[in-house]
Each structure stands twice: as C-alpha cells, then as structure tokens.
Chains A and B, each alone.
Chain A
Amino acid sequence: MSEGRLRKASGDAAHPFDGVRRLVASLESVTTAAGMVLSCGALAASALIGLFQIVTRFILDRPAPWSEPTVRTLLIWMVYLGLCGAIRNGAMVAVDVVYNTVGPRLQRVMRAFILIASVGLFALLFYFGLEMAEFVRHQNLAGVGISIAWAYAAIPVGSLLATISLLAHAVRPQSDDEVEKLKEQAL
C-alpha cells in the first residue's frame, strides 16, 4: 500500500496533464524518429553525391552541374532536421554556470524560461521560414532545375519538429547522460 501512496504523492499516477503528456510524448517519438532518419539519410546521400562529384570530375573532367547545389541543400536539411534529435538528447550547447549554482526552484523557473525562449525562436523560424519559401518559390536551384523553395522548406519543417521535441523534452526529460551529451557537441 505504501507504494501506491508514494506514487500518488509524487503525482505520477493521476496527474491532470497525464493524457496531454502521453500524447505529446508519443507524437514526439514518431516525429523525432522520422526527423533523425531523414537527417541521417540526407547526410549519407550528400556524402555519396559528393563522392560522385569527385569521380565525375576526374573521369569526365568536369563535375555534373547539379551535384554541388544538391550536396548543399541536403546538408541544410540534415542540419534543420537533426535539431529535434539534438534537443531530445539535451545536447544543445549552453553556458550553465549560473544554472548549476542556483537552487532547484530557480532551476525550474530557468528551465521554463529556456523553453519559452527556444520555442519562441523556432516559432519565428517556422513562420518566417514558410514565408521565405513562399517568397522564393519561382527561383530555381542553380543547375538542378527544381524550386529553391524545396531547400528553404528545411527551416519550417525542422523548426516544427524541433518545437515538438522541445515540448516533449519539457514534459518528460530524457535521462541526463552527460557523456552522451558531450559526445554530440562538436569542435
């Protein structure tokens, strides 16, 4: 019986937002998985196309005109789609000197602020990224012949996935494995 009471006391069993939490969490697990699969796919594809460019340059003496813009575009997609995974793992680089010195209550306030700030930036990027994609839809990617809007679309799509990831990270933070986090920070 003590176990049941404990669980209740800690607010785990019947939280008013439990349904919402579960919904966000399950939605997020799908979107982040999809985002990361596509991000990794874009990385692998851009490496292969890059290799193709080198080979054609050596064999045909001139690279195909579409390969370089395609590599650039795929890598932009990789970056914006990969953000949801970075957020999910809590791997975004931050200066947490102050955060680590304040008490747990202030930490909660700071976490809420960080969430609002991050969602704010991604909301801006989402809305104006869409506007930008709309704005450039008649321009073509040089050498590829498709609308540059397809490249710009990476920003709103990635921002949307990142926002979902942020919300899920807020309601159900993943285990904080410091080593894994660090491994993902480059430089």
Chain B
Amino acid sequence: MTFVMLASMMVLFMLAVPVAISIGLSSAIGIAFFTHFPMKLLAQQAFTALDKFPLAAIPFFILAGNIMGTGGISSRLVAFAQSLVGGMRGGLASTCVLTCMFFAAVSGSSIATTFAIGSILIPAMVKSGYPKPFAAALQATSAELGVIIPPSIPMILYGVSANVSIGELFVSGIGPGILIAFALILGTYVWCRLRGYGDAGNEDRLGVVVAFRRSLLALMMPIIILGGIYGGIFTPTEASIVAVFYALVVSMAIYRDIDWRSLLRILHQTAISSSIIMLIIAMAGIFSFMITRAGVPAAIGTWLTGTFHSGWSFLLAVNAVLFIIGMFIDAGASIIVLAPILAPVANQFGIDPVHFGLVMVVNLALGMITPPFGVNLFAACAVAKVPLERVARPLCIYILIIIACLMVITYVPEVSLFFRDIIYR
C-alpha cells in the first residue's frame, strides 16, 4: 500500500497537480484499495488534522507578519540594520542579512520575509552597484532565517507532529539563527572584497541611536512574543494572537501606515495563504495517519536502528535524505509526514528531540532555496526580476555556507540547546 501511495503521489507531483491535492488523492487511493476503512475517514482526518489549538498559531503568525510587512515596520528595521552594519564593505548586503534576521523575529515565514525585505533592499542593492543575481541570491538565502529564528511555522508543525514543546523549539532556533546570520555576513563580506562590490552608497544612513529609537516598537515585538512564552504568560498560540494585535496597534494607531482598506487586503491575503498551507497540513495528516496504520514508521525505525550504529552516521544520512526531499517537496508536508517517523529513532540514538527538530527545520529550509522547487528562490527572483538561471552561481556559494552551518548545527547540539538549557533547565 505504502508503495502505491508514494508512487501515485510522485506521479501526481510530476504532473504539476497541486501538492495538497496530490497528497490527498494518494491517501484516498490508499483508503479505497488497501484498507477496510470507509472513505469517511478522508473527511474525518481532514477535520481532525486541523482541529488543534497549537496549529491556530499559523494563520495568526502569518497575519502578524503581513501586517508588519505592509506597514512601515519593515522599512524601519532596514534603517536600523543599516545603521549598524551599513558602514563596512558590502554594507548594504550585510544590512539585508541583518534585517531578515530582525524581521524573522516577527514573522514565521520565509516568503513573507522575502517580499517584505526584498522589495526594499533588492532595488537598493542594485542601485548601489551589486549585480541583480547576487542581490536575489542573498535575499532568498537570508530570508531562510524567517523559519529558523522564532516564531516559525515549520517548528510549530514539528512540535505538533513529533509531540515536542513548541516553546523549547522556538528558543532553540535563536542560536542557529545567529550562527547562520553571522556566517552569511562573513561570506558576503569576503565575496564583496573579492569582487569589489559595495564600497559606496552608505552616505545617507541614520545614526544608530536615531534608527534604534525609530524602530524600537518593532524591535519590542519579539521580546513580547518570546518573553511572553518563556515567562509562562502565553502559550505560543496566544502569543501569536498578541502579535497580531500588537502589530495592528503599532501599524494603525502609532505609525499610521495601514488604514482599514489595506487591513482588508491583508486579511484577504492571509486567509488565502493560510488556506493553502493548512490544506497541505490536513492532507499530509491523512497521509501520515495511513502510513502509521500500515506500520511504516515502526518498520523504518527498526531498519534505521539496525543499519546505523551511531547517532553520527544516522544524522548524516538523515541530512542527505532530507536535503534531496527538500528539493522537491514542501517543507510543511515533509515535516508532518517525516517527523513522527524520524524523531523517535533520533531519540533512540540519544539525540534530543528539540535538537533533531532544529536539524530538520534548518535542512528543509534549505529546500526553499534549492531548485527545482525553491519557493523562496522564486519569490526573490520575482522581486528582483531576474531569471532563475542567472542566480545559480552566487546561489551555490550561499547554499554551501548554509550546508556548512547545517553541519555545525547537526554535530554541535549546544548551538541549538544552549539557550533552551538556560531557560528550561
């Protein structure tokens, strides 16, 4: 059964059938031909897979991110980042990385980060002499931080499907996020030195203090969200609701960048984005239910523990497989199907489930910038108006940097667990 389900899903993917529909149909095939379950199961699972309060955080974080991206908050964050690192060589490029890092702390999505920051910084970078493909590749890669630095939608999905605390996952994203941001800035600095990019165009930066004051309300947001979760004041879902209203008050009442009309447009866009990802979650939930009933996770688990004798080789194999899967399949769907299979095995090898979650999220985030199915890459190319082929070269360098970071995150658990252990232990 599993083979038929997987094969039909692959065929449907190849035929460009939408991801959610492919997963749903292959599950329906599984129900119809290989089990005695009534087809009602399809509808029942389509409901129960979504009927979970932690998942409610997803539309709310998307909404908060969209409000932040539309209002002047993103441009204020750009100005602040520029005041910090704009002065060095490749300053504008480093500003891009740093702004993405700040914005990631208010948004749970990479694509939202690409549009919010890229639409400001890609034109600015091109204007000060960076080649377009370089700007697009850098923006696509930096926006990955959107799902690594909390809040993060893939982490919520991992937490729900592997039964791990979402709060612990969030705090463990901070270390890897800082590591990746630092590596990207360093790589960009070296690359700009070699190529002679970015030695001009920093004249009109704000002073650090002024820029900090102007963006203070935006910078407060992650403190409220994370502080609320770790102070035990909010659950992650409640924090997402607080984020929505905080963003609304700041954008509508204080900065006055958003009026009621644009709020309606934001709601519309959020409803559509959330529907798309939540349908994928619902259908992946059915798929996961089916293969669990067929005993696949246990079989894979036994096979994995028999084949690999150390956590070291297991992690290497998992990383290689996830990298390939991430190239083709949506990160959310991969996490829902694979986390319940892999996390228990990782646990048997003595790998902390939170650390393992970070490895999965960082690895699958890489899938967002690797062709052929790199949503983030498409988004950055669309903003930069540059064809995908031309981005390949600068992109390779950034992919290598992220792979290096992934290896560090995989084999040095402390990068992820340091902050978690301070707060939770």
- Give chain A's interface residues, CB within 8 Å of chain B: 36, 39-40, 42-44, 46-47, 50-51, 53-54, 68, 71-73, 75-76, 78-83, 85-86, 89, 91-99, 110, 113-114, 117-118, 120-121, 124-125, 128-129, 131-132, 135, 151-152, 154-155, 178-179, 182-187
In the complex, 23 of the A-B residue pairs with CB atoms within 8 angstroms, ordered by the A residue number, are A40-B264, A47-B245, A50-B56, A50-B60, A53-B238, A54-B234, A71-B56, A75-B278, A79-B50, A82-B271, A83-B276, A89-B272, A96-B16, A97-B373, A114-B17, A117-B21, A121-B28, A129-B46, A132-B44, A178-B378, A183-B111, A183-B115, A185-B375
Looking across the interface, which residue of chain A has its beta carbon closest to that of B244? Answer: A47
Residues from chain B with Cβ under 8 Å of A118 in the complex: 17-18, 21
Taken together as a complex, chains A and B put the C-alpha atoms of A98 and B378 apart, in Å, by 16
Taken together as a complex, chains A and B put the C-alpha atoms of A72 and B368 apart, in Å, by 29
Highest count of chain B CB atoms <10 Å: which of A54, A96, A151, A154? A54
Residues from chain B with Cβ under 8 Å of A187 in the complex: 109-111, 147, 153-154, 277, 330-332, 368, 375
Residues from chain A with Cβ under 8 Å of B269 in the complex: 183-184
Instruction: Determine the main DSSP class of B at the interface with A.
Output: helix
CB under 8 Å from chain A, chain B span 3-56:
12-22, 24-25, 28, 39-40, 42-44, 46-47, 50-53, 55-56
Distance to closest chain A CB from B146 (angstroms): 8
CB under 8 Å from chain A, chain B span 370-387:
372-373, 375, 378-379, 382-383
Distance to closest chain A CB from B192 (angstroms): 28
- B272–A98 CB distance below 8 A: no
- A40–B43 CB distance below 8 A: no
Looking across the interface, which residue of chain A has its beta carbon closest to that of B61? Answer: A186
Residues from chain A with Cβ under 8 Å of B63 in the complex: 43, 47
Highest count of chain A CB atoms <10 Å: which of B52, B62, B272, B279? B272
* Ranked 3 nearest A-B pairs via Cβ: A82-B275, A92-B18, A50-B241
Residues from chain B with Cβ under 8 Å of A44 in the complex: 267
Distance to closest chain A CB from B147 (angstroms): 7
User: Of B42, B268, B331, which is within 8 A of A125 by CB?
Assistant: B42
Residues from chain A with Cβ under 8 Å of B77 in the complex: none
Distance to closest chain A CB from B32 (angstroms): 9
- Give chain B's interface residues, CB within 8 Å of chain A: 12-22, 24-25, 28, 39-40, 42-44, 46-47, 50-53, 55-56, 58-60, 62-63, 109-112, 115, 147, 153-154, 234, 237-238, 241-242, 244-245, 264, 267-280, 282, 328, 330-332, 368, 372-373, 375, 378-379, 382-383
Residues from chain B with Cβ under 8 Å of A36 in the complex: 268, 271-272
Distance to closest chain A CB from B276 (angstroms): 5
Taken together as a complex, chains A and B put the C-alpha atoms of A184 and B333 apart, in Å, by 17
Taken together as a complex, chains A and B put the C-alpha atoms of A97 and B14 apart, in Å, by 8
Taken together as a complex, chains A and B put the C-alpha atoms of A53 and B234 apart, in Å, by 11
Distance to closest chain B CB from A167 (angstroms): 15
User: Of A47, A68, A85, which is within 8 A of B53 by CB?
Assistant: A68
- A83–B279 CB distance below 8 A: yes
Residues from chain B with Cβ under 8 Å of A47 in the complex: 60, 63, 241, 244-245
- A82–B18 CB distance below 8 A: no
- B271–A85 CB distance below 8 A: yes
Residues from chain A with Cβ under 8 Å of B115 in the complex: 182-183
Residues from chain B with Cβ under 8 Å of A179 in the complex: 382-383
Distance to closest chain A CB from B151 (angstroms): 13
Contact A121:B21 (CB < 8 A) given known A36-B268, A75-B56, A75-B59? yes
Distance to closest chain B CB from A97 (angstroms): 4
Residues from chain A with Cβ under 8 Å of B271 in the complex: 36, 39-40, 42-43, 78, 81-82, 85
Given A94-B19, A113-B17, A125-B24, 9 other A-B residues pairs in contact with their CB atoms under 8 A: A50-B60, A50-B241, A54-B241, A83-B275, A95-B372, A131-B43, A135-B40, A182-B378, A187-B331
